[in-house]
Amino acid sequence: MATASTLAVILVLCLVLGWRYHFRVVEHRRAIMQMSQQAEKVRLATAYSTESARPAAVTATPGTVVPAALTAPPETEVVLRYDPAARKVPETTEPEVLPLTALTDAEGLVRKYADTTHWQDRLQFVSEPERVRALMEDYYEVQQNVDPVIGTLIDQKRLRIGGAEIIQLNFRGSRVVGRLELLMRRTGTNRLVIDWESLVGYSQKSFSELSKTRPSTPVLVRGYVTLDDYYSHEFSDSLRYLSLKVTSPDGTGLINVYCPRDGEMASWLQTNLRGSLQESQAKACTLWISYPEKAESGRCANLLQVQASQWLILPKK
């Protein structure tokens, strides 16, 4: 009897100690989760984040009027029309590196842009707002795209490209190349503004829409270009065509474009894309493309022209 009582007491003590240990573990885990959540809040507060909400959140604010003083455009504006008589590849221009001065105004501009919810309210921060307004409306409300996430700042540069001063801020991001390049220009009144088209990698049609509609008229496309070995449908002759893979800025879309191997574009592209399939690196380019009449595939298109060797397009002098 005494033995049974002793065993019962021991069992009760074991249960009590076990439950106390269990509750301590649970409390410890809860504390760790709270600390983790707090750390995440701090991280988000110190990093730039411009991932916009889906269309409901980017609907234009009714009646918004951008102050005229904030819409002063550069002396000339970018004109984006396909010119079949133009050169097939861009001129080679080496950016001039300028002395890096304090860029607190540039970082402040990024914060203001990121903290502004509606696309129409962001017009005051972008270059050529009168022209870009229609592009932003198409990007956010028709194509239903969102801004790329802007992470922590990696480095910054001050350049002169084609006679224009360019501020380049490189952030960590979810792009194919692992970073996000944000470029700024100066207006005619010397005010810094964001080059919105290169920031989002704007194309006249989304990659999914391109594959679906297969337009036979020229379309401006921004994407990451690499040499490829995919040949199919109208472009099955690998001896005749050079194949290029074009990945959408967010990495979710893919098409292939083709140009004659013996032409100026093929030579330029092989030089700028490291020449071989194995060494080819993704390069941000702006292209004019079109599909063959009654195209057999939504993946294969003609490369008509390399508009620029980056996503930035500067006004012609």
Cβ partners under 8 Å of residue 207, min gap 6? 223, 248, 252, 253, 254, 255
Residue 6 confidence class, pLDDT cut points 50, 70, 90: low
pLDDT at 307: 96
Q: What is the tens place of the pLDDT at every residue in 182-209? A: 999 998 888 999 999 999 999 999 999 9
pLDDT at 114: 95
Mean pLDDT of 222-233: 96
Q: Cα separation of 97 and 156, whole Å?
A: 11
Q: What is the tens place of the pLDDT at every residue in 100-141? A: 877 888 999 999 999 999 999 999 999 999 999 999 999 999
What's the CA dihedral at 158, 161, 164, 169 to 10 degrees? Answer: -30
Which CATH architecture group holds 207-308?
A: Beta Barrel (2.40)
Residue 7 confidence class, pLDDT cut points 50, 70, 90: low
pLDDT at 11: 61
Residue 4 scores a pLDDT above 80: no
Show the tokens assigned to 181: 């390049």
C-beta atoms surrounding 151 within 10 Å:
15
Q: What is the tens place of the pLDDT at every residue in 134-161? A: 999 999 999 999 999 999 999 999 999 8
| Percentage of residues in the chain having pLDDT higher than 90 | 62
Nearest CA-CA partner of 224 in 157, 287, 290: 287
Residue 59 confidence class, pLDDT cut points 50, 70, 90: very low
pLDDT at 72: 39
What are the boundaries of each domain within the chain? Answer: 55-59+91-200, 207-308
